[in-house]
Amino acid sequence: MVYELWEVALASSIAAKVRWIFEAKDGTSAVIQTFLSRILILGVNLFTGMVTARLLGPEGRGAMTVISLWPGFIAYCCTLGMPSATIYCLRNYSEMASELFSAAMIITAVLGAIAGAIGAIGIPHWISAAKYSPDTIFWAQVFMATAPFSLLALVSGAALEAVGDFSAANKQKFVVPLSTFAILVSLYLSGNLTPPTAAFAYVISALVCLVTAAPDLGRAFGWCWPRSILPFRRLLNHGVRIYGIDLLNTMSGQLGQVLVAGLLSPINLGYYNLTMNLSRNLGTIQGSLVSVLFPKLVGRPMAEIQKLTEFAAKVSFYALSLVSIPVVLLASFLLTGLYGKDFDAATVIFQILVVESILSCLVWLLTQVFIALGKPLLITVLQSIGLVVTVALMVVLAPSMGLTGAGLALLCSTVLRLVLSMGCFPWVLKISPPNLIWRRRDWQQLKQRLSRSKQPA
Protein backbone atom coordinates (compact mmCIF):
# COMPACT_ATOMS: atom_id res chain seq x y z
CA MET A 1 0.00 0.00 0.00
CA VAL A 2 2.79 2.40 0.93
CA TYR A 3 4.65 1.46 -2.25
CA GLU A 4 1.55 2.14 -4.38
CA LEU A 5 1.08 5.54 -2.74
CA TRP A 6 4.74 6.33 -3.40
CA GLU A 7 4.30 5.39 -7.07
CA VAL A 8 1.25 7.65 -7.38
CA ALA A 9 3.07 10.55 -5.69
CA LEU A 10 6.11 10.07 -7.94
CA ALA A 11 3.97 9.94 -11.09
CA SER A 12 2.08 13.05 -9.97
CA SER A 13 5.36 14.89 -9.30
CA ILE A 14 6.79 13.95 -12.70
CA ALA A 15 3.57 14.97 -14.47
CA ALA A 16 3.59 18.32 -12.67
CA LYS A 17 7.19 19.01 -13.71
CA VAL A 18 6.51 18.01 -17.33
CA ARG A 19 3.43 20.28 -17.39
CA TRP A 20 5.50 23.10 -15.84
CA ILE A 21 8.12 22.76 -18.57
CA PHE A 22 5.64 22.57 -21.46
CA GLU A 23 3.60 25.55 -20.26
CA ALA A 24 6.79 27.67 -19.93
CA LYS A 25 5.04 30.32 -17.85
CA ASP A 26 8.11 31.44 -15.91
CA GLY A 27 11.74 32.16 -16.69
CA THR A 28 13.23 28.84 -15.55
CA SER A 29 10.67 26.61 -17.30
CA ALA A 30 11.04 28.72 -20.47
CA VAL A 31 14.82 28.21 -20.36
CA ILE A 32 14.44 24.44 -19.90
CA GLN A 33 11.87 24.18 -22.68
CA THR A 34 14.10 26.23 -24.98
CA PHE A 35 17.04 23.97 -24.14
CA LEU A 36 15.04 20.81 -24.90
CA SER A 37 13.69 22.25 -28.15
CA ARG A 38 17.23 23.18 -29.21
CA ILE A 39 18.41 19.63 -28.56
CA LEU A 40 15.52 18.23 -30.61
CA ILE A 41 16.19 20.69 -33.43
CA LEU A 42 19.88 19.80 -33.34
CA GLY A 43 19.06 16.09 -33.65
CA VAL A 44 16.63 16.58 -36.54
CA ASN A 45 19.06 18.88 -38.38
CA LEU A 46 21.88 16.38 -37.93
CA PHE A 47 19.79 13.55 -39.34
CA THR A 48 18.53 15.74 -42.20
CA GLY A 49 22.13 16.63 -43.08
CA MET A 50 23.00 12.93 -43.16
CA VAL A 51 20.14 12.21 -45.56
CA THR A 52 21.03 14.96 -48.05
CA ALA A 53 24.79 14.31 -47.84
CA ARG A 54 24.56 10.56 -48.42
CA LEU A 55 21.90 10.71 -51.13
CA LEU A 56 23.12 13.77 -53.06
CA GLY A 57 26.89 13.58 -52.47
CA PRO A 58 29.19 16.62 -52.09
CA GLU A 59 28.43 18.17 -55.49
CA GLY A 60 24.68 17.63 -55.17
CA ARG A 61 24.79 19.04 -51.65
CA GLY A 62 26.61 22.10 -53.03
CA ALA A 63 24.01 22.61 -55.76
CA MET A 64 21.21 22.24 -53.20
CA THR A 65 22.92 24.79 -50.95
CA VAL A 66 23.38 27.40 -53.65
CA ILE A 67 19.69 27.11 -54.55
CA SER A 68 18.34 27.24 -50.99
CA LEU A 69 20.85 29.77 -49.61
CA TRP A 70 19.53 32.92 -51.28
CA PRO A 71 15.88 33.24 -50.12
CA GLY A 72 16.90 33.29 -46.45
CA PHE A 73 20.09 35.30 -46.87
CA ILE A 74 18.68 38.10 -49.02
CA ALA A 75 15.42 38.20 -47.04
CA TYR A 76 17.30 38.56 -43.74
CA CYS A 77 19.38 41.33 -45.30
CA CYS A 78 16.12 43.19 -46.00
CA THR A 79 14.52 42.97 -42.53
CA LEU A 80 14.78 46.72 -41.89
CA GLY A 81 15.03 45.73 -38.22
CA MET A 82 11.45 44.37 -38.12
CA PRO A 83 12.08 41.39 -35.77
CA SER A 84 13.67 43.60 -33.09
CA ALA A 85 11.19 46.42 -33.72
CA THR A 86 8.26 44.01 -33.32
CA ILE A 87 9.55 42.79 -29.96
CA TYR A 88 10.24 46.33 -28.74
CA CYS A 89 6.90 47.79 -29.80
CA LEU A 90 4.77 44.89 -28.56
CA ARG A 91 6.39 45.12 -25.13
CA ASN A 92 6.15 48.90 -24.87
CA TYR A 93 2.78 49.53 -26.58
CA SER A 94 0.82 46.44 -25.54
CA GLU A 95 -2.48 48.35 -25.71
CA MET A 96 -2.28 48.29 -29.52
CA ALA A 97 -0.71 44.82 -29.90
CA SER A 98 -3.13 43.63 -32.59
CA GLU A 99 -2.55 46.66 -34.83
CA LEU A 100 1.21 46.53 -34.29
CA PHE A 101 1.39 42.85 -35.21
CA SER A 102 -0.73 43.35 -38.33
CA ALA A 103 1.39 46.34 -39.37
CA ALA A 104 4.58 44.35 -38.80
CA MET A 105 3.32 41.53 -41.02
CA ILE A 106 2.30 43.98 -43.77
CA ILE A 107 5.69 45.72 -43.73
CA THR A 108 7.45 42.35 -43.65
CA ALA A 109 5.49 41.02 -46.63
CA VAL A 110 6.48 44.08 -48.68
CA LEU A 111 10.13 43.74 -47.65
CA GLY A 112 10.03 40.04 -48.53
CA ALA A 113 8.70 40.83 -52.00
CA ILE A 114 11.51 43.37 -52.49
CA ALA A 115 14.05 40.76 -51.36
CA GLY A 116 12.61 38.27 -53.84
CA ALA A 117 12.97 40.72 -56.72
CA ILE A 118 16.54 41.63 -55.72
CA GLY A 119 17.52 37.95 -55.58
CA ALA A 120 15.88 36.99 -58.86
CA ILE A 121 17.73 39.80 -60.65
CA GLY A 122 21.06 39.57 -58.83
CA ILE A 123 21.72 35.82 -58.50
CA PRO A 124 23.01 35.28 -62.08
CA HIS A 125 25.56 38.04 -61.54
CA TRP A 126 27.09 36.33 -58.49
CA ILE A 127 26.76 32.61 -59.26
CA SER A 128 29.21 31.73 -62.01
CA ALA A 129 27.67 29.98 -65.01
CA ALA A 130 31.06 28.28 -65.49
CA LYS A 131 30.73 26.55 -62.09
CA TYR A 132 26.98 25.99 -61.78
CA SER A 133 24.56 24.58 -64.33
CA PRO A 134 21.86 26.80 -65.90
CA ASP A 135 19.31 24.59 -64.11
CA THR A 136 20.83 25.42 -60.73
CA ILE A 137 20.83 29.16 -61.42
CA PHE A 138 17.25 29.01 -62.72
CA TRP A 139 15.90 27.26 -59.62
CA ALA A 140 17.82 29.60 -57.34
CA GLN A 141 15.95 32.48 -59.00
CA VAL A 142 12.57 30.71 -58.86
CA PHE A 143 12.85 29.91 -55.16
CA MET A 144 13.37 33.58 -54.36
CA ALA A 145 9.56 33.66 -54.46
CA THR A 146 9.66 32.10 -50.98
CA ALA A 147 11.62 35.03 -49.49
CA PRO A 148 8.47 36.67 -48.03
CA PHE A 149 7.67 33.45 -46.15
CA SER A 150 11.14 33.40 -44.57
CA LEU A 151 10.72 36.96 -43.28
CA LEU A 152 7.14 36.47 -42.11
CA ALA A 153 8.12 33.34 -40.16
CA LEU A 154 10.99 35.25 -38.53
CA VAL A 155 8.80 38.18 -37.44
CA SER A 156 5.92 36.00 -36.26
CA GLY A 157 8.32 34.03 -34.04
CA ALA A 158 9.66 37.29 -32.60
CA ALA A 159 6.09 38.45 -31.91
CA LEU A 160 5.25 35.29 -29.96
CA GLU A 161 8.39 35.66 -27.84
CA ALA A 162 7.55 39.33 -27.22
CA VAL A 163 4.28 38.41 -25.50
CA GLY A 164 5.91 35.57 -23.54
CA ASP A 165 4.39 32.67 -25.49
CA PHE A 166 7.63 30.69 -25.55
CA SER A 167 5.79 27.40 -25.96
CA ALA A 168 4.33 28.50 -29.31
CA ALA A 169 7.61 30.12 -30.36
CA ASN A 170 9.59 26.95 -29.63
CA LYS A 171 6.99 24.86 -31.46
CA GLN A 172 7.38 27.14 -34.47
CA LYS A 173 11.16 26.70 -34.44
CA PHE A 174 10.80 22.93 -34.29
CA VAL A 175 8.29 22.76 -37.15
CA VAL A 176 10.88 24.10 -39.64
CA PRO A 177 13.45 21.25 -39.45
CA LEU A 178 10.74 18.63 -38.89
CA SER A 179 8.80 19.64 -42.01
CA THR A 180 12.03 19.80 -44.02
CA PHE A 181 12.92 16.28 -42.96
CA ALA A 182 9.42 14.97 -43.70
CA ILE A 183 9.44 16.46 -47.22
CA LEU A 184 12.95 15.09 -47.91
CA VAL A 185 11.89 11.58 -46.87
CA SER A 186 8.78 11.84 -49.07
CA LEU A 187 10.89 12.93 -52.03
CA TYR A 188 13.33 10.06 -51.49
CA LEU A 189 10.60 7.42 -51.19
CA SER A 190 8.94 8.69 -54.37
CA GLY A 191 12.26 8.69 -56.26
CA ASN A 192 12.20 12.46 -56.82
CA LEU A 193 15.09 13.59 -54.60
CA THR A 194 17.35 15.92 -56.62
CA PRO A 195 19.27 19.08 -55.65
CA PRO A 196 16.38 21.39 -56.71
CA THR A 197 13.68 19.32 -54.96
CA ALA A 198 15.85 19.00 -51.83
CA ALA A 199 16.29 22.78 -51.85
CA PHE A 200 12.51 23.13 -52.14
CA ALA A 201 12.14 21.09 -48.93
CA TYR A 202 14.30 23.63 -47.12
CA VAL A 203 12.78 26.85 -48.46
CA ILE A 204 9.12 25.81 -48.25
CA SER A 205 9.46 24.96 -44.54
CA ALA A 206 8.97 28.66 -43.73
CA LEU A 207 5.47 28.51 -45.25
CA VAL A 208 4.67 25.34 -43.28
CA CYS A 209 5.86 27.16 -40.16
CA LEU A 210 3.51 30.09 -40.84
CA VAL A 211 0.51 27.83 -41.43
CA THR A 212 1.05 25.88 -38.20
CA ALA A 213 1.68 29.08 -36.23
CA ALA A 214 -1.46 30.84 -37.53
CA PRO A 215 -3.78 29.59 -34.72
CA ASP A 216 -1.32 30.70 -32.01
CA LEU A 217 -0.85 34.08 -33.70
CA GLY A 218 -4.62 34.51 -34.05
CA ARG A 219 -5.17 33.80 -30.36
CA ALA A 220 -2.34 36.10 -29.27
CA PHE A 221 -3.05 39.09 -31.53
CA GLY A 222 -6.11 38.60 -33.69
CA TRP A 223 -6.11 39.99 -37.21
CA CYS A 224 -7.07 43.56 -38.04
CA TRP A 225 -6.11 46.28 -40.48
CA PRO A 226 -4.32 49.15 -38.65
CA ARG A 227 -6.65 52.14 -38.25
CA SER A 228 -3.84 54.70 -38.61
CA ILE A 229 -0.21 55.00 -39.68
CA LEU A 230 0.94 55.14 -36.04
CA PRO A 231 1.78 51.40 -35.75
CA PHE A 232 3.75 51.59 -39.01
CA ARG A 233 5.60 54.70 -37.84
CA ARG A 234 6.55 53.19 -34.48
CA LEU A 235 7.80 49.98 -36.05
CA LEU A 236 9.81 51.73 -38.76
CA ASN A 237 11.29 54.32 -36.38
CA HIS A 238 12.71 51.63 -34.13
CA GLY A 239 13.51 49.20 -36.94
CA VAL A 240 15.64 51.65 -38.90
CA ARG A 241 17.71 52.42 -35.79
CA ILE A 242 18.46 48.75 -35.09
CA TYR A 243 18.72 47.63 -38.73
CA GLY A 244 22.50 48.00 -38.92
CA ILE A 245 23.02 45.45 -36.14
CA ASP A 246 20.51 43.02 -37.72
CA LEU A 247 22.26 43.32 -41.08
CA LEU A 248 25.67 42.69 -39.52
CA ASN A 249 24.34 39.63 -37.68
CA THR A 250 23.01 38.20 -40.94
CA MET A 251 26.26 38.92 -42.74
CA SER A 252 28.31 37.38 -39.93
CA GLY A 253 26.26 34.19 -40.04
CA GLN A 254 26.00 33.57 -43.78
CA LEU A 255 28.52 35.72 -45.65
CA GLY A 256 31.06 32.89 -45.66
CA GLN A 257 28.72 30.62 -47.61
CA VAL A 258 27.87 33.40 -50.04
CA LEU A 259 31.56 34.04 -50.74
CA VAL A 260 32.34 30.33 -51.11
CA ALA A 261 29.40 30.00 -53.52
CA GLY A 262 30.90 32.71 -55.72
CA LEU A 263 34.58 31.80 -55.40
CA LEU A 264 34.70 27.99 -55.29
CA SER A 265 33.08 24.95 -56.92
CA PRO A 266 29.77 23.26 -55.98
CA ILE A 267 31.69 20.38 -54.35
CA ASN A 268 33.60 22.80 -52.12
CA LEU A 269 30.38 24.62 -51.24
CA GLY A 270 28.86 21.27 -50.29
CA TYR A 271 31.79 20.55 -47.98
CA TYR A 272 31.72 24.04 -46.49
CA ASN A 273 27.97 24.14 -45.89
CA LEU A 274 27.84 20.76 -44.20
CA THR A 275 30.87 21.32 -41.95
CA MET A 276 29.74 24.85 -41.09
CA ASN A 277 26.32 23.59 -39.99
CA LEU A 278 27.87 20.75 -38.00
CA SER A 279 30.37 23.01 -36.24
CA ARG A 280 27.67 25.55 -35.40
CA ASN A 281 25.91 22.94 -33.27
CA LEU A 282 28.40 23.98 -30.59
CA GLY A 283 26.56 27.30 -30.47
CA THR A 284 23.42 25.43 -29.41
CA ILE A 285 25.28 23.97 -26.43
CA GLN A 286 26.74 27.36 -25.54
CA GLY A 287 23.39 29.12 -25.85
CA SER A 288 21.78 26.64 -23.49
CA LEU A 289 24.58 26.98 -20.95
CA VAL A 290 24.37 30.76 -21.03
CA SER A 291 20.58 30.69 -20.58
CA VAL A 292 21.00 28.80 -17.31
CA LEU A 293 24.23 30.28 -15.97
CA PHE A 294 24.26 33.85 -17.26
CA PRO A 295 21.46 36.05 -15.82
CA LYS A 296 20.45 39.32 -17.41
CA LEU A 297 23.13 41.97 -16.98
CA VAL A 298 21.10 45.11 -17.56
CA GLY A 299 20.98 47.35 -14.48
CA ARG A 300 23.62 45.48 -12.48
CA PRO A 301 26.69 47.18 -10.94
CA MET A 302 29.92 47.11 -12.96
CA ALA A 303 31.71 44.83 -10.46
CA GLU A 304 28.90 42.28 -10.61
CA ILE A 305 28.81 42.39 -14.42
CA GLN A 306 32.56 41.77 -14.51
CA LYS A 307 32.27 38.80 -12.16
CA LEU A 308 29.31 37.21 -13.96
CA THR A 309 30.91 37.66 -17.37
CA GLU A 310 34.18 36.08 -16.27
CA PHE A 311 32.39 33.08 -14.80
CA ALA A 312 30.15 32.54 -17.84
CA ALA A 313 33.13 32.91 -20.20
CA LYS A 314 35.05 30.25 -18.28
CA VAL A 315 32.19 27.75 -18.19
CA SER A 316 31.36 28.30 -21.85
CA PHE A 317 34.96 28.09 -23.03
CA TYR A 318 35.91 24.97 -21.07
CA ALA A 319 32.65 23.13 -21.71
CA LEU A 320 32.89 23.72 -25.46
CA SER A 321 36.58 22.81 -25.46
CA LEU A 322 35.93 19.51 -23.67
CA VAL A 323 33.26 18.64 -26.23
CA SER A 324 35.34 19.84 -29.18
CA ILE A 325 38.68 18.15 -28.47
CA PRO A 326 37.44 14.62 -29.29
CA VAL A 327 35.44 16.02 -32.21
CA VAL A 328 38.58 17.58 -33.73
CA LEU A 329 40.71 14.48 -33.11
CA LEU A 330 38.10 12.13 -34.57
CA ALA A 331 36.95 14.52 -37.32
CA SER A 332 37.69 12.18 -40.23
CA PHE A 333 35.95 9.23 -38.56
CA LEU A 334 32.98 11.43 -37.61
CA LEU A 335 32.47 12.87 -41.10
CA THR A 336 32.78 9.55 -42.94
CA GLY A 337 30.61 7.77 -40.37
CA LEU A 338 27.82 10.34 -40.57
CA TYR A 339 27.95 11.43 -44.19
CA GLY A 340 29.93 8.83 -46.15
CA LYS A 341 33.47 8.42 -47.48
CA ASP A 342 33.05 11.23 -50.01
CA PHE A 343 33.17 13.75 -47.16
CA ASP A 344 36.56 12.71 -45.79
CA ALA A 345 38.04 15.54 -47.89
CA ALA A 346 36.24 18.02 -45.61
CA THR A 347 38.20 16.96 -42.49
CA VAL A 348 40.61 19.92 -42.37
CA ILE A 349 37.97 22.60 -42.97
CA PHE A 350 35.76 20.97 -40.31
CA GLN A 351 38.58 21.05 -37.74
CA ILE A 352 39.25 24.72 -38.49
CA LEU A 353 35.56 25.62 -38.22
CA VAL A 354 35.16 23.81 -34.88
CA VAL A 355 38.00 25.88 -33.39
CA GLU A 356 36.52 29.03 -34.93
CA SER A 357 33.10 28.20 -33.49
CA ILE A 358 34.50 27.96 -29.94
CA LEU A 359 36.16 31.37 -30.25
CA SER A 360 33.10 32.87 -31.92
CA CYS A 361 30.89 31.73 -29.02
CA LEU A 362 33.34 33.35 -26.60
CA VAL A 363 33.29 36.61 -28.56
CA TRP A 364 29.48 36.63 -28.55
CA LEU A 365 29.39 36.20 -24.78
CA LEU A 366 31.91 39.00 -24.17
CA THR A 367 29.98 41.41 -26.37
CA GLN A 368 26.86 41.00 -24.21
CA VAL A 369 28.62 43.08 -21.55
CA PHE A 370 28.89 46.11 -23.83
CA ILE A 371 25.26 45.75 -24.92
CA ALA A 372 24.14 45.61 -21.27
CA LEU A 373 26.13 48.77 -20.51
CA GLY A 374 24.53 50.69 -23.38
CA LYS A 375 27.39 50.52 -25.88
CA PRO A 376 25.89 48.67 -28.88
CA LEU A 377 27.75 50.95 -31.31
CA LEU A 378 31.03 49.41 -30.16
CA ILE A 379 29.73 45.94 -31.05
CA THR A 380 28.67 47.21 -34.46
CA VAL A 381 32.18 48.53 -35.06
CA LEU A 382 33.79 45.23 -33.97
CA GLN A 383 31.46 43.20 -36.20
CA SER A 384 32.12 45.53 -39.13
CA ILE A 385 35.88 45.12 -38.72
CA GLY A 386 35.44 41.35 -38.57
CA LEU A 387 33.35 41.31 -41.76
CA VAL A 388 35.83 43.46 -43.68
CA VAL A 389 38.71 41.20 -42.63
CA THR A 390 36.70 38.07 -43.53
CA VAL A 391 35.90 39.33 -47.02
CA ALA A 392 39.44 40.56 -47.68
CA LEU A 393 41.12 37.35 -46.49
CA MET A 394 38.62 35.06 -48.19
CA VAL A 395 39.00 36.81 -51.54
CA VAL A 396 42.78 36.39 -51.23
CA LEU A 397 43.05 32.94 -49.62
CA ALA A 398 40.08 30.96 -51.01
CA PRO A 399 41.11 31.03 -54.71
CA SER A 400 44.69 29.99 -53.90
CA MET A 401 44.16 27.61 -50.94
CA GLY A 402 40.61 26.43 -51.58
CA LEU A 403 38.47 25.42 -48.62
CA THR A 404 41.38 25.61 -46.19
CA GLY A 405 41.90 29.24 -47.16
CA ALA A 406 38.21 29.99 -46.63
CA GLY A 407 38.33 28.42 -43.17
CA LEU A 408 41.53 30.25 -42.21
CA ALA A 409 40.00 33.56 -43.33
CA LEU A 410 37.06 33.01 -40.99
CA LEU A 411 39.32 31.87 -38.13
CA CYS A 412 41.66 34.87 -38.45
CA SER A 413 38.71 37.26 -38.44
CA THR A 414 37.28 35.67 -35.28
CA VAL A 415 40.66 35.76 -33.51
CA LEU A 416 40.93 39.46 -34.33
CA ARG A 417 37.43 40.12 -32.93
CA LEU A 418 38.33 38.21 -29.76
CA VAL A 419 41.51 40.25 -29.26
CA LEU A 420 39.65 43.51 -29.88
CA SER A 421 36.80 42.50 -27.54
CA MET A 422 39.27 41.68 -24.76
CA GLY A 423 41.09 44.95 -25.39
CA CYS A 424 37.89 46.96 -25.09
CA PHE A 425 37.47 45.98 -21.42
CA PRO A 426 40.44 48.08 -20.19
CA TRP A 427 40.20 50.59 -23.06
CA VAL A 428 36.46 51.38 -22.91
CA LEU A 429 35.20 50.05 -19.56
CA LYS A 430 38.41 50.70 -17.60
CA ILE A 431 38.31 47.20 -16.06
CA SER A 432 40.47 44.12 -16.57
CA PRO A 433 39.35 41.60 -19.22
CA PRO A 434 37.90 38.24 -18.10
CA ASN A 435 40.49 35.81 -16.74
CA LEU A 436 39.85 32.40 -18.32
CA ILE A 437 41.98 30.40 -15.84
CA TRP A 438 39.73 27.99 -13.92
CA ARG A 439 40.00 28.24 -10.13
CA ARG A 440 38.66 26.15 -7.24
CA ARG A 441 36.00 28.71 -6.30
CA ASP A 442 34.52 28.41 -9.80
CA TRP A 443 33.38 24.85 -8.99
CA GLN A 444 31.39 26.11 -6.04
CA GLN A 445 29.80 28.89 -8.08
CA LEU A 446 28.91 26.40 -10.82
CA LYS A 447 27.16 24.11 -8.32
CA GLN A 448 25.20 27.07 -6.92
CA ARG A 449 24.05 28.20 -10.37
CA LEU A 450 22.96 24.72 -11.42
CA SER A 451 21.06 24.06 -8.19
CA ARG A 452 19.33 27.45 -8.45
CA SER A 453 18.26 26.80 -12.06
CA LYS A 454 16.55 23.53 -11.06
CA GLN A 455 14.15 25.24 -8.68
CA PRO A 456 10.79 26.19 -10.26
CA ALA A 457 9.98 29.89 -9.95
Read off the pLDDT of residues 379-409 as tens digits, 9 standing for 90 and up. Answer: 888 888 999 999 999 999 999 999 999 999 9
pLDDT at res. 143:
93
Question: Same domain for 304 and 392?
Answer: yes
Q: Which of 218, 241, 264 is the last residue of a domain?
A: 241
Total domains in the fold of the chain: 2
Instruction: Give, in degrees to the nearest 5, the angle at Cα 217 between 98 and 230.
Output: 20
Domain annotation covers residue 359: yes
Report the candidate in 387, 320, 330, 389 with the shortest Cα–Cα distance to residue 355: 320
Amino acid letter at 145? A
Contact call for residues 113 and 148 (beta carbons, < 8 A): yes
Domain annotation covers residue 379: yes
Question: Same domain for 51 and 187?
Answer: yes
Question: Same domain for 227 and 287?
Answer: no
Domain annotation covers residue 260: no
pLDDT at res. 3:
46
* Residue ranges of the chain with per-residue pLDDT less than 70: 1-35, 37, 129-130, 283-300, 372, 442-457
Domain annotation covers residue 5: no
Question: Same domain for 230 and 137?
Answer: yes
Alpha carbon distance 237, 228 (integer Å): 15
Question: Same domain for 150 and 287?
Answer: no
Q: What is the residue range of 342's domain?
A: 280-457
pLDDT at res. 435:
79
Report the candidate in 51, 342, 320 with the shortest Cα–Cα distance to residue 177: 51
Alpha carbon distance 311, 434 (integer Å): 8
Name residues whose C-beta falls within 8 Å of residue 10's C-beta, 6 or more positions apart in sequence: none
DSSP letter at 428 equals I
Question: Same domain for 286 and 420?
Answer: yes
Contact call for residues 34 and 165 (beta carbons, < 8 A): no
Q: Which of 241, 270, 294 is the last residue of a domain?
A: 241
Domain annotation covers residue 419: yes
Question: Same domain for 213 and 287?
Answer: no
Q: If you write DSSP's letter for every residue of 302-364 in order, what string do you get?
A: HHHHHHHHHHHHHHHHHHHHHHHHHHHHTHHHHHHHHH-GGGGGGHHHHHHHHHHHHHHHHHH
Dihedral of alpha carbons 433, 434, 437, 439, sign: positive
Reduced to 3 states, what is the DSSP secondary structure of residue 192? coil
Reduced to 3 states, what is the DSSP secondary structure of residue 153? helix
- The predicted model scores a pTM of 0.80
pLDDT at res. 244:
81
Question: Same domain for 454 and 311?
Answer: yes
Question: Same domain for 185 and 88?
Answer: yes
Domain annotation covers residue 12: no
Run of H or E including 189: helix 166-189
Q: Which of 241, 257, 290 is the last residue of a domain?
A: 241
Question: Same domain for 201 and 332?
Answer: no
Contact call for residues 418 and 362 (beta carbons, < 8 A): yes
Contact call for residues 248 and 383 (beta carbons, < 8 A): yes
Domain annotation covers residue 63: yes
Question: Same domain for 311 and 425?
Answer: yes
Q: Can you state the percent helix, strand and coil of the chain, rounding each to 5? A: 85, 0, 15
Question: Same domain for 53 and 137?
Answer: yes
Alpha carbon distance 366, 360 (integer Å): 10
Domain annotation covers residue 75: yes
